[in-house]
Amino acid sequence: MSAVDIAAVATFIRDVAQEHVLPRFERLAAADIQLKGQGDLVTVADLEAEKALTPLLSALLPGSLVVGEETAAKDSSVFDRLADDGPVWLVDPVDGTSNFAAGIPLFAVMVALLQGGEPVAAWIYDPVKDAMATAERGSGAWLGGTRLHVAVEDSPDRMSGAMSHRFGNRQLVRKIAGRSNLVGSVFSFRCAGQEYLALAAGRAHFALYHRLLPWDHAPGVLIHREAGGYGRQLDGSPYSPRQHAGGLLLTPDEASWTALRTVLMG
């Protein structure tokens, strides 16, 4: 269990998104969008939302550290905070920035609280739908007042899931891409937060990721786990926000994970 007020954090996230993110959706000027890396955008909404959330979260747990996506992009030493065994907040102020900048309503605000390097509480918020998913370790995953449950397990040829081939070991990615026709169907929202929401609500069976930035996955992994799901890195090791390389596969249960990995890896 975490020692944090789940509802208070949800209120912070919603208020910040409603003030700094949603008003700029479909209203960004060219000067509001910058390129921070190859194919990687940042907008004024990302920067302002992270700036607003950081002190709110820090004050809620005195002595806690914050690792925000945009701060880490400017100063890679911020990643060193993940080694701390005390409370660490992970903040993705706008997940799916490319969608957000293009006026596509598939983006999210994501926050996770780590203790001892492991996620113990998580929040994923869809500002367009005003939908907040939360989870606390050992207490289930919730969308508002509705408990979330992953999809019923199925055979790989009937499973639908999220998969992207943009990142990761190119030889491995090509191999998996060449075998993706063996599963039921594959999609990509280009927004991990939205994909995790689909997983936790049972609207998708699986997701496979090759780039493991901690703010992209720590919130979703916990919400998925608390909704009954099973996730491991492709080598079978448990997911850790401190581990940034290697594939991550999430499925409804362990048997599905093994079957799907076998199909995709050969």
Residue 199: its H or E element? helix 192-200
Residues 50-82: pLDDT tens digits? 999 999 999 999 999 999 999 999 999 999 999
Q: Residue 135 above 70 pLDDT?
A: yes
Q: Residue 131 above 80 pLDDT?
A: yes
Q: Is there a contact between 234 and 246 (Cβ–Cβ < 8 Å)?
A: yes
Residues 29-49: pLDDT tens digits? 999 999 987 778 999 999 999
State phi, psi for 14 to the nearest 5 degrees.
-60, -45
Residues 172-190: pLDDT tens digits? 888 888 899 999 999 999 9
Mean pLDDT throughout 117-122?
98
Q: Is there a contact between 206 and 258 (Cβ–Cβ < 8 Å)?
A: no
Q: Work out the end-to-end distance of the chain between its first and last CA atoms, rounded to an integer number of angstroms.
A: 39
Residues 233-263: pLDDT tens digits? 999 999 999 988 889 999 999 999 999 999 9
pLDDT of residue 3: 76
pLDDT of residue 168: 65
Task: Count other C-beta atoms under 10 Å from residue 147's C-beta.
Answer: 12
- Which two three-digit tokens encode residue 156? 């790989």
Residues 87-111: pLDDT tens digits? 999 999 999 999 999 999 999 999 9
pLDDT of residue 178: 86
Residues 146-179: pLDDT tens digits? 999 999 999 999 999 999 877 767 788 888 888 9
pLDDT of residue 220: 98
The full set of domains in the chain, from first to last, is 6-147 (3.30.540.10), 156-265 (3.40.190.80)
Residue 218: its H or E element? helix 214-226
pLDDT of residue 203: 97
E-only strand ranges, the chain:
33-37, 40-43, 65-68, 88-95, 108-115, 118-126, 131-136, 141-143, 146-147, 160-163, 185-187, 206-209, 230-233, 248-251
pLDDT of residue 215: 96
The mean predicted confidence, pLDDT, of the chain is 94
Q: Residue 196 above 90 pLDDT?
A: yes
Which of 9-18, 134-143, 163-172, 203-212 is predicted with the least confidence, judged by mean pLDDT?
163-172
